[in-house]
Chains A and B, each alone.
Chain A
Amino acid sequence: QVQLQESGPGLVKPSETLSLTCTVSGASISRNYWTWIRQAPGKGLEWIGYIYYSGSTNYNPSLKSRVTVSVDTSKNQFSLKMNSVTAADTAVYYCASVDMSQLDFDYWGQGTLVTVSS
């Protein structure tokens, strides 16, 4: 069974960089594409971006200028960095695996709340 666990600071100051890591267990990170999705309080889901173990990435056009997703195959982890954050980036951030044959998000982490506030 694939399991994903997000980790990182729960509080980030405005204009600073949000950094989160997703640790994958039960599967090799070289097996799939991996993605980040967020959900602002009381709002819907927003896709952020994906990465393949080779380093290939793509991002939501609305966030592309501020987001970087990277992978560390030695640790079976992938990470999200989002710079110049504002209160609008306050959300629960989920990491998930992408089934590359059906292009759906089949396994999800439990999510981690990141609050942007001074």
Chain B
Amino acid sequence: QSALTQPASVSGSPGQSITFSCTGTSTDVGGYTYVSWYQQHPGKAPKLMIYAVSHRPSGVSNRFSGSKSGNTASLTISGLQAEDEADYYCSSYTSGNTWVFGGGTKLTVV
């Protein structure tokens, strides 16, 4: 199985909205609604931010939203804040009853 494709880096200014993409295939992202997104700050464990494409766990800010079209999922952060600076990973369940991650996107808030 191949890793999902994410841009290596994205930058934005406080208050802006930014969108991350995550591209897979019909055997993972395109074939299921089981796409999730994780935020990881340096030296910390990943934290679940979005599950099932567009749902937020309790306690996650409503500034985070997710969507999917075809084989590409997206994570949008609105009203960017300095604390959002982190690495973001997408993940998808696959037809092989496995999971696959994207390579991760480093968000810089400038």
Interface residues of A (CB under 8 A from B): 35, 37, 44-47, 50, 58-62, 94, 99, 102-106, 108-111
Determine the distance from Cα of A110 to Cα of B103 in the docked complex, in whole angstroms: 20
B103 touches A44 (CB 8 A): yes
B102: A residues at CB distance < 8 A: 44
Range for the number of chain B residues in contact with chain A: 20 to 34
A35: B residues at CB distance < 8 A: 99
B103: A residues at CB distance < 8 A: 44
**Least Cβ–Cβ distance between B109 and chain A, in angstroms:** 20
A47 touches B55 (CB 8 A): no
A50: B residues at CB distance < 8 A: 99
A111: B residues at CB distance < 8 A: 45
Contact with A along B22-35 (1 / 0, CB 8 A): 00000000001010
B45 touches A106 (CB 8 A): no
A44: B residues at CB distance < 8 A: 3, 89, 101-104
